[in-house]
Amino acid sequence: MVLTYPSPQYQEFLREHDPNEIQIIDNIVLLEELLNEARMAGFSLKHYSLENVWMRNQYVHCVFQTLASITPASPGARPIRIVSDLSSAFKKWVLVPYRRHKYISRVFRQSK
């Protein structure tokens, strides 16, 4: 199970600096509460990170796995590299074309 949501730090920032941006569904989700709920539902935390979007540590990304899925890996098992694949695709299809436009095409375009 994958969760992504605004970080507690970001929610506090909005409450203090821009309360009009807070939506009715925006709640502060603390890690302790999330872990308790997940444990009661039969999940354990596999990954937790704070991610920068427009601001530093704006979002939380969590990956949970079922407790039953925690077993020894077989010798030939290859880990799934979804994040790495997504990162590579983002660079190839978004970042590189954007930088090419910004730093090459725009700078060296011929004036009419």
Q: For residues 15 and 19, what is the distance between their CA atoms, to the nearest angstrom?
A: 5
Read off the pLDDT band of 69 (50, 70, 90). Answer: low
pTM higher than 0.85, yes or no? no
- Say if CB 6 and CB 54 are below 8 A apart: no
- Give the chain's length: 112
Residue 83 has pLDDT above 70, yes or no: no
